[in-house]
Amino acid sequence: MGYLRKLGDKKFRIVYDVMSVDGKRRQKTETLLGVTRKQAEALLAKRKAAVLGGECKPNAAVRMNELFDRFVQAKENRLAATTLQRYEGLLRLYLRPAFGAKRVADVKAVDILAAYALWSKRSISARTVRHAAELLRNVLRRAVKWEIIPRSPEASLDADDLPKVLKPESTVLTELDVHQLLEEARNPTNRCTARHYLTACSTFYPAVAFALYTGARLGEIMAMRWQDVDFRQRIVTISRSLSDTKRAGTVYKRPKNDKVRTVCVSGQLLAILQRHKAVQAAERIAMGAAYHDEDLIFAKPEGTAIPPWLFSSAFRNFMKRSGVRRIRFHDLRDTHASLLAKAGVPIEVISKRLGHSDISITYDRYISVYRDRDAEAAEAFAKIVARKRPSQSVRRPLDLEL
């Protein structure tokens, strides 16, 4: 017994009978998102066949591995491919080995604490443990919603039960470092040129310069198109990001926090982009019909997109050969924010350029960039206190006769 009900565009509800713990039949309801009627009917038929075949188990018999599978299926059409890939990695490496064979009803708070302790002993970073714990919390909450368990065992735990995450110190470049880095990126070595390394491609230097001048994320930079640049108004619009995953390959998506932003750029960066556009036009002519024109600013010589992981790897190798202290590509974003802060640019302006969802994130992440100014403030106050004051006569209260 079962039926299908349409709730909206690509949204259906299926209802079918299952066997409960006491042996009586009861109805099970599932809401399906992002599916066609044909897909919903196929899933309903699959569920009914599973019930007839005795595969649908009472809630008390549901294993954690089954719950993990159902959770991923429910999230598959609602989350970005990169997020799903991260979930699957956490499930494969941590949650399935620790809880997969257990029945959902048998998982206790003490089991979760034991898993936290085990992961910490294996030298897994506190940040990763917290990510795994957050995923487990969401899965167990979904189990409550699906009426598999009446209450989540995770609900009795608090933040103190998880390892503390130390905030990484921002690694930023000085003004002199920035000049040297750009100079070396603009002039690749003969060895890199001869071996056709990505660092010797026409794209590399403009992309590094774009990161420093705008503070954009790597995925956002690799997704930039020429139509996103307004040379007359001196602005660029960051409206999408490129990501690469094993599940979906290379895909474009909205920027982080779903925030499309327009950033003002300097004449220096525009001149770099104009020169790059001319070089790219020559490459297009040389490639002829083999060139794939996707309007990308930072592309491979044949015009196709550069996966962010590939560019990040090339930048890492470039830094090993560079005379500048070693940093990650993301640290160019931190450098942009840091140098602006030191120059006295208001923090709210910096936050908007970076595309942060909240200004507190900017304060929290880049608070260390104020260290130089804080030292200046300490010295300034010391000078104020040490400054000689004009001598003043001290007035004493008169002795009153009683």
| Residue 71 CA: distances (Å) to CA of 21, 64, 67, 99, 248 | 22, 10, 6, 15, 19
Percentage of residues in the chain with pLDDT exceeding 90?
50
d(CA 320, CA 144): 50
Topology alike, domains 57-161 and 175-374:
no
Residue 23: the pLDDT is 46
d(CA 33, CA 78): 8
Instruction: Encode pLDDT of 50-66 as tens digits.
Output: 666 544 555 667 899 99
Q: Which of 233, 228, 255 is nearest to 243 (CA)?
A: 255
Instruction: Encode pLDDT of 122-166 as tens digits.
Output: 888 888 999 999 999 999 999 988 888 889 998 888 878 887 776
Residue 391: the pLDDT is 56
d(CA 278, CA 284): 10
Q: Are 163 and 121 in contact (CB under 8 A)?
A: no
Residue 266: the pLDDT is 95
d(CA 392, CA 384): 18
pLDDT band at 265 (very low <50, low <70, confident <90, very high): very high
Pick the CATH number of 57-161 from 3.40.1350.10, 3.40.50.80, 1.10.150.130, 3.30.70.580: 1.10.150.130
Residue 401: the pLDDT is 47
User: Tokens 């660092």 map to which residue?
Assistant: 199
| Residue 89 CA: distances (Å) to CA of 114, 256, 279, 317 | 20, 21, 41, 26
pLDDT surpassing 60 at residue 396: no
The DSSP bridge partners found for residue 29 are 15
> Can you list the pairs that 25-33 forms with residues at least 24 positions away whose Cβ atoms lie under 8 Å?
28/56, 31/7, 33/77, 33/78
The DSSP bridge partners found for residue 2 are 16
Residue 292: the pLDDT is 93
Q: Which of 105, 94, 98 is nearest to 127 (CA)?
A: 94
- The amino acid that residue 328 corresponds to is R
d(CA 295, CA 287): 15
pTM (global) more than 0.95: no
Q: Which of 54, 70, 133 is nearest to 104 (CA)?
A: 70
Sign (positive or negative) of CA dihedral 375, 376, 381, 385? positive
**What is the average pLDDT across 293-301?**
95
Pick the CATH number of 175-374 from 1.20.140.10, 3.30.70.270, 1.10.443.10, 3.40.718.10: 1.10.443.10
Residues 6+ apart with CB under 8 A from 342: 369, 372, 373
Q: Which of 151, 127, 156, 130 is nearest to 140 (CA)?
A: 151
Domain map (residue ranges) of the chain? 57-161, 175-374
- Torsion of the alpha carbons at 147, 149, 151 and 152, rounded to the nearest 10: -110
End-to-end C-alpha distance for the chain, whole angstroms: 106
Residue 388: the pLDDT is 61
Q: Which of 163, 167, 87 is nearest to 120 (CA)?
A: 163
pLDDT band at 84 (very low <50, low <70, confident <90, very high): confident
**Length, in residues, of the chain:** 402
